[in-house]
Amino acid sequence: MTDPVPAPPTAGEAVERPQVRVQRLDPDLPLPGYAHAGDAGADLCTRTDVELAPGERRLVPTGVAVQIPDGWVGLVHPRSGLAARSGLTIVNAPGTVDSGYRGEVQVCLLNTDREHPVVLHRGDRIAQLVLQRVGWADFVEVGSLDGSDRAAGGHGSSGGVRAWQTQQPDPPEHFQESTR
């Protein structure tokens, strides 16, 4: 297998490129890499053949361990093509690879198709690893929070939840006002 191409910075722009150390646990699998210049996610492959029955989820090994630099996080995202064509997604998307984690990157895949199994072969690309800067907060307990225009509105409070009008005759009570 060939390693994916590295993503070069956009012409004329300074791009911060953290170095991620990779331990290849399977010498026949490629390192994580970008399929196209400018891609945000580096492809991760399956180390094993996998068949997921309809509705089945499984932790799938990638054959690599990574050392994410301090101040960064690796976020494991689904591949849009797999999701669209076969219903394959990641249960905890995005999965989090903290900078202190040194084990094999594994992906918790879920076959959302109700009728057909998803068959993956060793070396198939199954997910994308996106690096992102992180910040840390000091959490301070207070008796109340400052007001805002949004207040406690969430879970459909901004509208646009028409799916309930076609799929369920009665949306949950706390959504009824926000979807009209």
CATH of the domain at 41: 2.70.40.10
Of the pLDDT bands very low, low, confident and very high (cuts 50, 70, 90), residue 148 is confident
| 1 has pLDDT over 80 | no
Q: Is 26 one of the annotated binding-site residues?
A: no
Structure tokens of 70?
A: 């301090």
Residue 180 has what pLDDT? 42
Q: Does residue 178 surpass a pLDDT of 50? A: no
Q: What is each CA distance from 113 to 1, 39, 82, 106, in whole angstroms? A: 29, 27, 11, 21
The residue with greater pLDDT, 155 or 101, is: 101
Q: For residue 3, what pLDDT is reported?
A: 56
* Residue 6: per-residue pLDDT: 57
pTM: 0.77
89 is in an annotated binding site: no
Distance of CA 175 to the CA centre of its chain: 28
Residue 147 inside a domain? The answer is no
**What is residue 15's predicted lDDT score, i.e. its pLDDT?**
77
- Arithmetic mean of pLDDT over the chain: 87
Print the domain residue range for 49: 37-133
Is residue 102 over pLDDT 70? Answer: yes
- 63 annotated as a binding-site residue: no
Q: Please determine, for residue 176, whether its predicted confidence score (pLDDT) is greater than 70.
A: no
Query: For residue 142, what pLDDT is reported?
Result: 96
Give CA separation, 106 vs 47, 75, 118, 156, 169, in Å.
10, 12, 18, 32, 40
Q: Is residue 153 situated within a structural domain?
A: no
User: What is the identity of the amino acid at 103?
Assistant: G
Domain count for the chain = 1
Give domain status of residue 95, yes or no.
Answer: yes
81 annotated among ligand-binding-site residues: yes
Is residue 13 in a domain?
A: no
- Is 111 one of the annotated binding-site residues? no
Element (H, E) at 111: strand 104-111
Whether residue 61 is contained in a domain is answered as: yes
pLDDT top residue among 48 and 151:
48
**Residue 177: pLDDT over 60:** no
